[in-house]
Amino acid sequence: MGYLKGFMDFNRKDQDVRDPIERIKSWEEYVIRFSDQDLKEQSSRCMDCGTPFCHTGAEWDGAYVGCPVNNFIPEWNELVSEENWEEALRRLEETNNFPEFTGRVCPAPCEGSCTLAINDDPVTIKSIENEIIERGFDNNWVEAKVPENRTGQHVAVVGSGPAGLAAADQLNEMGHRVTIFERDDRPGGLLMYGIPNMKLDKETVDRRIDVMKKSGIEFTCNTEVGVDITREELNREYDAVIMCTGAQDPRDTPIENRDSQGIHFAMEYLTAATEALETDPKDTPITAEGKKCYRNWWR
């Protein structure tokens, strides 16, 4: 624990966001990075309590409390408060393959389990996590993980969402050769075509895919298993096959006026809108132009 009285001296501060009037002019991420001083203060609010729950990821009454990937949160909070960013990154990488994704879009159950939250606001764990990995990329500390020895085993991973990417990353690090099959034109699953740019810029996804390619992982896109290649072929050609195909079938809602015009499944809209950003944002079959969203529209 760096500064002992951080939790007494500093209030929680959330990251600033871009002004809504500015924000509606672009699809870029709207959260603004913390300053050095904010990071020092916010990380020093961690009490390094004797029994931390933030990193447990334990099931309790049917729900999970704490970080599902068991990040060593108090340890990297201390390293950040001491401005030892590279060591903080190494500690974070021990548990989390993709902190730049969780640091942006995770619902942060860690913060709900922070002991400080019993009588104060929790530590801004998620923002600190994101800053650790961003500084890692800024300083070229994020390296390709090329294994020293290969096992001779070749694994096929079907689906390149976060589950498939994490499985591939772990298996590759263990020395297995890994090929990912993805039916879409770009890897990432819902990271690429489900979560909008304003929360997770697609360059951030591509940046990680590049690191994975340099680590030796092969990506085969535009290939649907069951259509372009059969499961039997995979079984024959690979030592193991891992299915990480997600759950993208939408659940319909049989309510009155469901068949009215302009009601779409989220993924139909989001996929088309994300694809259109690559060419012309107006070039999308479903547009929300001119519509108003009244729920929390100012956030």
Binding site for ligand SF4 (CB under 6 A): 67, 69, 71, 73, 102, 106, 108-110, 125-126, 129
**Is 30 among the residues that bind ligand FAD (CB under 6 A)?**
no
| CA distances in angstroms from 236 to 157, 166, 219, 226, 231, listed in the order given | 14, 24, 19, 14, 9
Binding mask 68-107 for ligand FAD (x = CB under 6 A): -------------------------------------xxx
Q: Is residue 226 a contact point for ligand FAD (CB under 6 A)?
A: yes
Q: At 138, give phi and psi (nearest 5°).
A: -55, -35
Spatial neighbors of 255 by CB under 8 A, at least 6 apart, are none
**Which one of ligand SF4, ligand FAD, none interacts with residue 126, CB within 5 to 8 A by kind?**
ligand SF4
Kindly state the smallest distance separating residue 84's Cβ from ligand SF4, in Å. Answer: 18
Q: At what angle do helices 36-43 and 125-138 cross, to 10 degrees?
A: 130
74 binds, among ligand SF4, ligand FAD, none (CB under 5 to 8 A by kind): none
Among 110, 181, 234, 271, binds ligand FAD (CB under 6 A): 181
- Residue 184 interacts with which of ligand SF4, ligand FAD, none, CB < 5 to 8 Å by class: ligand FAD
Choice between 106 and 200, CB closer to ligand SF4: 106
